[in-house]
Structures are given as C-alpha cells and as structure tokens.
Structure 1
Amino acid sequence: MNYYVGVDVGTGSARAGLFSSDGKLYKIAVHPIEIFNPQAGFYEQCSENIWNAVCHVVKKVVDEIPSENIKGIGFCATCSLVALDETGLPVTVSPSGKDEQNIILWMDHRAEAEANFINETRHEMLRCVGGKISLEMETPKMMWLKKNLTASWSRAKLLFDLPDFLTWRATNSESRSLCSLVCKWNYKAGPDPKSNGWNLDFFERLGLSDLSDDNWKRIGIDVKAPGDPVGSGLSIKAARELNLLPGTAVGASIIDAHAGGLGMVGCSAPGISSDLTNRLGLICGTSTCHMVVSAKEIFVDGVWGPYYSAMVPGFWLNEGGQSATGKLLDHIIDTHPATQSIRNKIDKKTHVQGYLSQLLEAMAKKKNLSDVAVLTKNLHVWPDFHGNRSPLAEPSLQGMISGLSLSTDEENLATLYLATVQALTYGTKHILEVLTTAGHEINTILICGGLSQNPLFVQTQADVLGLPVLLPHQRESVLVGSAILGACAAGAFPSMHDAIQSMNGAATVVTPRKLLYEHHERKYKVFKKMVQDQKEYEKLMSN
C-alpha cells in the first residue's frame, strides 16, 4: 500500500499524520515548538527548532512503514515570516539580537504602525485584502524589520513564509506557494498567468523597492500552485533527517488554516448539498479562520481575498478570521480564581471545558431553564481581546465584558465561559453577514480543529447561525489537507479535485435548534452594540 505524510506546524506544536489515498489516518505524532515573547505584542520562533520538531514527528509516523511505500509528503504551517542569510542560516528578527529567534510569528502585533501606513496609501493592491492590510501579514512585518533592525534586513537574503521554508528545507528549492504569496505577501494572481506577479509600484510606495533586486529573489519568483511537485523531491540531507528516501515527492505548501479547508471542504453527509461554494469552513485553533470559495471574484470589505486558486484550484477564496478563539477560552479559564480548585479535583482525562459544560447543564436544570444558553441572559462578552481581524479589520479593538458580579465560584466561571463561547459564535455570525451581503450563498458550516471536539461550541454555532454544521469523521482535517498536497505531487490523483473527493470522507450533521434562535438574536444585538460603545468610549477619552 502507498502512504502519504501530512505535516502541520501550528502555533505551539508540529504534527505529522500518515494517510492512505482514501484519507484513512494510520498514525499521528505531536511535538512542541518554542515561542519567544520578548516584550508585549512580540512573538517569535526559531526555524531550526521547528525543523527539528518536524523531523521528530515524521520519523515517528513512518517508523513502521518501508520507505519505498511513502510516496509523498506535504507541509502546512502558520503564516509567519522566516529570515535567513545567503547561506540559509537564521537571521534575527528580534530586539534581543539572537539569531535563533528568526521568525516573526503570525500573531505578532509589532507592525501596527506599518500596517496603518500601508492602508493610508489606499493602493489598488489592498482590494484583495478586504480594503485593509492586516498587521499579521508579511508586508508590514518586512517594513518593521527594515526600519528597526537594519543589519538584519541587510543580512536577510531569503524571506520565506513558514510553509515555504519547510519545502525549501526539504528540497533546497526556493520556490514559493501561490497560497502564501497571494494571501499574505500581496502577490497578484488570477486566471491569466501572464498577469501574475509582484507589483513594483506597491513596494516602492512602501520603501521596499529593494525586494525587486535580483529578480525578486529574496521573496520569490518561482511560484507553484499548492500540491505541485517541488524541486526534485526530498534532498539527500532532508531524506536522511526524515527517515525517507531521497526524491520522495514534496507538494507545494499551503497555510495551515487553508490545509484545514482543503481537508474538509468536500466532506459529505446525507441531505447536504455537495456544492463547495455553499460552504463556510471554520478552522479552529489558537485563532479561527473562516474559508469560503466561489466561482467568481467576490470582494468583501473587512474580509481577505478574493484570492485565486489559493486553496481549491480554479476557485476564488475569501478568508475571514478571529485573532483569538481557542486562546481566548484558555485565557478566560486560566485567569479565573475558581480554575485551580477545578483542576485539583478532576482527573487528567477530563478537560476543564468538559467539566464546565457539565456544570452548565446542572445549573440550567437546577434553575428549571429551557436550555443552558439562557444562563447568559445578562452576561455579555465582546471577544476581541487581541483585536478584530474580520469583518471590522481593527487590530486595536479590545475585549469587553458586561454583567460582572463579585462572585468567583465555579458557577461564575461556567457562565463566563458560556458567554465567551457565544460571543465567538456571534463573531462568526458577523462575518457570515458581510459574506452574504457581498454575494456569497452559504447554507452549510464546516468545523475542524480543537474546538470541533467541543459539543457546546459546535451546537452553539448551529443554533446562532441557524445552519447545519458538518463535523468530518476524520477530525484531523489540517493533516488531511497537507497529505493531499503530497499525494498530488506524487501523481496519486488526476487532479486536486479528485484528491479532495477521495480523501475528505464523510461527516456528521449537527442541526440548529430553532427555539433558541430568538434568544441569540437578542444577544447578537447587544454584541454589535458593545463595539459601538467601545468606539464611543474611545472618542470621549480622546477629547
């Protein structure tokens, strides 16, 4: 039997999965990676630490399989900026000056001023990022690097998105993925390849014209569609490090959230339309990305895209998102006084969120309420503790909580946790509204990632949005998407579309409960009023 390896480098760990061509997962491995936080808003990583973690997990999943049966490998990762010198060694991006800290992590917010400057230009290239560039993208971060660490800027002869660093490290090829370039680097791409390329005027306006030196070598000119073969496959060195054969096919990479979309967009369920363009995919982790594809260009204010062939070949992609979701729930729980006592009494197999969900059920029953959802009638949260990515595109927004008391017991934590879950879902409703107004027709929600395993979160999505939610039976959608890249590079399928149909598999349907829709509509009105209030407070304090 032939196998394919999918690799996912997330915010805090590297993972690998071993798959067959029908999407069956045979083995999975996880290894932590380092995050440096030298000062507020700065988040950095080390490319060698990440590559070593990748080698660790890949070797684990292939250790019982003959190397000749591993036909392809695909990589996905966060959209983080990697700096290397002309020999491929790390170049510091950190105020600490340490070269091992050579990655600016996606969630790093140091480049706010640079992003504001770019947005003030109102350049035509901003049309494809919802009208506003995000400080999470690579162009503002490159501007910050050039302005603040001039020696590093001079030394950095190769600048990669992290997914492309992985394929470079695996193959020695400096090619870049169309996915990363169009989504995070302001690269222009459309159905006519002759019109694709870097916009020199855009980078000149930003003081980054030197990126065009040597035919754009520093940021890439050899651009490949996700899943295209990279170089000659694994190099001799990388093959030895991964315990695979030299020449094993390597697929052009993809961003991790996009891999999640690729790994579940085609999943099937009885009674649910199979039209890929009617589906909104939620890829949930530290943050959440909202992916929807369309047959034509659809421009949506405050939502990134449309990006051509960035996820599914031949389709345009719009990408919304929330900067902190899983991380926000962790923050709410970790900072509450009742959490430690809960952890002291539950066993290691019980997750705190699971305990809180059970407590909410008991609370609702005790109060003779129709559903746990109504426990938050007078408790409201605005969830942008790390800024708003979509649809307001305002990174300076902050979190808000209305309805606090002096209580610090478990029930107080459970109610606050529920209100936060609901607030995150209202954020998705906000994104869904602008997508629909712009012309998308969405009738199904897909969810993968850590929060897909939280029944309270999933049911809340269905209830608030009033739409069925599909949960893929294969929960590791991000790894499936990465394995699809390797399978396509190895020629296992005639096309990416065939790979999607074969490897996505079936899904369970979670249906909305109409009785709760009115309750959530009222809370959603409060939700949108809260951000208006925050802006009003800011005006009052600025006078």
Structure 2
Amino acid sequence: GLFGRFQVYYVGVDVGTASVRAALVSRAGLLNSTAEEPISIWEPQADHYVQSSSEIWEKCCTVVKNLKESCWKEAAHFFDLPDFLSWKATGSLTRSLCTLVCKWTYCPPEGWDASFWTSIGLEDLLENDFSKIGSVSCPPGSPLGDGLTQEAAADLGLDPGTAVGASLIDAHAGGLGVIGADVKGFHLPCEDQPITSRMAMICGTSTCHMAISEQPLFVPGVWGPCLSAMVPGVWLNEGGQSATGRLIDHVMKGHAAYTQLQEQARQRSNIYSYLNSHLSSMADSRSAVDLLGSSLHVWPDFHGNRSPLADPTLKGMVTGLSLSQTLDDLALLYLATIQALALGTLHILEAMKEAGHDIRTLFLCGGLSKNSLFVQIHANATGLPVVLPDQMEAVLIGAAVLGACASQDYSSIQEAMEKMAKVGKVVQPDNELQSFYERKYKVFLRLFAHQREYQALMNQR
C-alpha cells in the first residue's frame, strides 16, 4: 500500500548485577538498538550487598525511553502528513508552505528560527540546513519533482511523470475549493470586491474559518497570519470552533427523546431533515423558525473555545431548560445549539473586522453545509449572504485545483480556483430577524461574561 508496512519491534529488558539494559529487537531477531544504565550497589557490611528496587524500576524506564532516542537519531526525515504523501508520490523532499507555516513555525522569507528549536532542546534538527524537517519549500500547487515515480505510479494505477502539486491541509483545501468561485451574476456584495472580502467556512465535526488578506493582520485568538498557506502570495488567518457537528450530535444523542427522534426520522428522512421540518411545523406560519429560540440560549464551548477567545478551559452552558423532555424540546435544543454556533461565527467575524478584515460574503462547505437550517441561520445571525458550492465535496475540488496548477494547465492557483470552483446556491439573510439576533448576540456574550464571573467567584479563598 501507499504507506508501506510499519516495522514491528519487541523490547527486551535485562536487569544485571551492575546495570539495566534494553534492546529493540525485530521480528527476525535482529538487534536494532540498545541502551544501558548503571545501577547502584551498597555494601552495608562485609559480603552483604543491597540494591534499590525503586532505582532498578527507574533505570528500566530510562533505558526504554533511550531506545526511542535511538529511533530519533536514525530518522532521516520528519513530515507532516500532506508532505509525507507528496514525498511518497514523487520522492521530492520539498515541503508545502501550507504545512510548514501553519503547523511547523516556518516563517517565509526568513524560514526556520534556529533559536526556537534550540530553546526546546531540538537543536539537532538544525543539521544540514534543516534537512530533516525541510530545506526547500514551495507554495501549494507547485509541481513537485518529476511527478509520480515509477513505484508510486504502479501503486496508484497512473502514468509515471503525472504532475503532483504541493499539498494542502484538508481544511485549507476546502477553502481553496470554494473561496475563488466566479460570482458574476449572483448579485453578491463580494462581486466587485477583492477575494479578501470572502471567508470560507469548512464545517464538519469542527469548523475552520478561513480569511485572507493582502497584508498581514493580527487577530487575537485567531491562528495566523500565515503567508501563502492557502492562496499563494496572500496571508491567511484561520479561526475555528472546536466542536460544531460534534456538538449538535452530542446534544441530540444525550436527550431523552433521541430514540423517538430516530424512529420518526427512519420512517421519513434523515434526522436533520426531520428536525428542520418539525421546527417549521412548530413555528407559527407567519413567523420564522428562528424565533422559537427566544428563551433557550446556549454557549457552545463544550470542548473549549478555539477562536476568538483561545481558552480551552471554557465549558458549555444552556439556560432555559424545563422538566419537559419531549421531541419538541429536543428540536428546540437543536435549534438553540445551531444558533449558538452561528453566533460563535459572528464572534469570530467581529474580532476579524476589528483587526482590519472586511468580510462581505461567507462561502460554506463540509458536511454541515448540507443542512439547510444550519446555513440559513448562519446567514441570519451574521447578516451576510452564504454561498454554497455547486460540488459539495469542496476539499476534493481544492485538491484537484493543486493538481491542475501543477500540470500547468492553469497559470496560477487564482486562475484554477476561478475556473474550477462553481457557485451552487446563494442563501440570503432574513433582514427582518436582524433585531432578534442582535438581542440574542447580547445574551450570547453575557453568557461568556457570566461564566468568567462564576469562575472568579469560586476561585476566591
């Protein structure tokens, strides 16, 4: 397979009279590496020898850990997964700026900061111009090596020499697959604006909020700015929510009416379509579904806050519960959770705006973008139009854009994005709900303020 087979090793530990030894042994019985530590011997009186069982255990732990050091020294290269796959495909050691800049502290044009690696005890990575972690980098979509190697081509069933583009992290590929779409004729506020007026949201188990700018903008609680990490030549800021689809599933599955929901949905449609329809039937025909969430409020950080507060200690909050546990109550909690996630996106947008971003249009992709209520509420809560792609698998489109650019069928990533990313549907905000969401957002921010207040009160001595 593409990954090859992992080598299996066994650890043998020998406690001798004067030392503890450990060895890494292959399945064929070959010694890969060894480590040794001396152990103390006391002689309290003639011909009486004493050793410490506690020290022997400590030395056993030390030698086993030292075996890992041997593996560390033998490693020729360390890759992020996207770069590993590129290397397997082409044999090229060139790393993508996406992975290096976003995850590995690389900062172009200067590159690696030797003082950082030294300060954390990894100065051996500086050897040979950082060859173990990447001496050469390139923007996403750049052609790598001579394309597919003979071996990789055989594994994949493709022709040797087929162009391979420098890779992207999955969420960044999703951003690439939607953010550059040609929007002419859709009457969107971003139509006559630069691409920097758009934000891509990749919405799945968690959500990534990708915003780009011509100049570096520093947004508290948002990762970045990272140069050429998604679109070559421009800066990327990445906000995020650590649990979105996961949170919606969590609140539903933990509800007493979840089994009833499954039974009802099985007869008609999937769970989300059923709940969306059920909420419509609960709402007065003259009023929006959104208004059902007027007395149930959620702070959605059940898994901490990634952006814009960057606080993993924050917890989720729900206010407005009763003893009732009907299917209606489950539907309302589902609605309030989606509204909270949309207000969390507004919270991120506000932080980005304050730092200099001017975002006029949202581009959504990922599993949650298939949920019509999730999409409409994001438009309503933020007051921004939402663009859905023609092809829902935007991450795959983004990855294909890299290949198209590497094959030089397009002159740039920007041109490939515009030609290959297509608008599927535009969802406009309901402006009549502006006042409702302004008030709900005030409640949302107050929930956070109260949580901080509760923490402070309980930390008093």
Fold-level similarity (TM above 0.5): yes
SS in 2 for 1:346: helix
- Residue in 2 that maps onto 1:253: 167
| AA of the residue aligned to 1:228 | S
Alignment map for 1:9-24 (pairs within 5 Å): none
Match of 1:376 among 280, 293, 309: 293
CA shift for structure 1 position 388: 1.0
Aligned partners of 1:482 and 1:281: how far apart in 2? 15
Q: Structure 2 matches for 1:112-511, cutoff 5 A?
A: 151-152=67-68, 154-156=70-72, 157=75, 158-189=77-108, 195-269=109-183, 270-272=186-188, 273-274=190-191, 275-347=194-266, 350-365=269-284, 370-511=287-428
**Taking structure 1 as reference, are residues 289 and 90 closer, same or farther at Cα in structure 2, changes over 3 Å only?**
farther
**What is the CA–CA distance in structure 1 between the aligned matches of 2:393 and 2:162, rounded to whole Å?**
23
In the other structure, the counterpart of 2:30 is none
Classify 1:220/1:336 alpha carbon distance in 2 versus 1 (closer, same or farther; 3 Å): same
Q: Does structure 1 retain, via aligned residues, the 8 Å contact 2:268–2:274?
A: no
**Conservation of the 8 A alpha-carbon contact between 2:203 and 2:369:** yes
Provide closer, same or farther for how the CA distance between residues 382 and 90 of structure 1 changes in structure 2, counting only shifts above 3 A. farther
Number of aligned pairs? 399
Asked whether the equivalents of residues 182 and 419 of structure 2 are also in contact (C-alpha less than 8 Å), the reply is: no
Higher RCO (C-alpha under 8 Å, 6+ residues apart): 1
Query: How many Å separate the matches in 2 of 1:404 and 1:150?
Result: 54
Aligned residue identity for 2:245: G
Aligned residue type for 1:251: G
Cα drift, residue 172 of structure 1: 2.6
Structure-2 separation of matches of 1:414 and 1:278: 34
| CA distance in structure 2 between the aligned counterparts of 1:254 and 1:155, rounded to whole angstroms | 28
With over 3 angstroms needed to count, the CA separation of the structure-2 counterparts of 1:392 and 1:153, relative to structure 1, is farther
Task: Pick closer, same or farther for the CA change 1:333–1:149 going to 2, 3 Å.
Answer: farther
Contact 1:268 1:507 in 2 (8 A): no
Q: Which has the larger radius of gyration?
A: 2
Distance 2:267 2:167 in 1: 36
Match of 1:73 in 2: none
Q: Unaligned regions of 5+ residues in structure 1, if any?
A: 1-47, 53-86, 93-98, 100-147, 190-194
Secondary structure of the 1:307 match is strand
CA deviations on 1:460-495 (whole Å, 9 max, x unpaired) are: 111111111111212221111000111111111111
TM-score (norm 2): 0.82
Q: Equivalents in 1 of 2:171, 2:306: separation in Å? A: 15
Are 1:459 and 1:510, in contact at CA under 8 Å, matched by a contact in 2? yes
TM-score by length of 1: 0.70
Structure 2 residue matching 1:387: 3-state secondary structure: coil
Sequence identity (%): 50
**Structure 1 CA distance, aligned partners of 2:368 and 2:65?**
38
Over 3 Å counting, the alpha-carbon distance change for 1:149 and 1:313 in structure 2 is farther
In angstroms, what is the RMSD of aligned CA positions? 2.3
- Shift of residue 426, structure 1, vs aligned partner: 0.5
String of CA shifts for 1:446-471, please: whole Å, max 9, x gaps. Answer: 11111111110111111111111111
After superposition, what is the alpha-carbon deviation per residue over 1:293-312, rounded to whole angstroms, capped at 9, x for unaligned?
Answer: 11111111111111111111
* Counterpart AA for 2:187: G
Does the 8 A contact of 1:448 with 1:471 survive in 2? yes
User: Measured at CA, do residues 399 and 208 of structure 1 come closer, stay the same or move farther in structure 2, by a change above 3 Å?
Assistant: farther
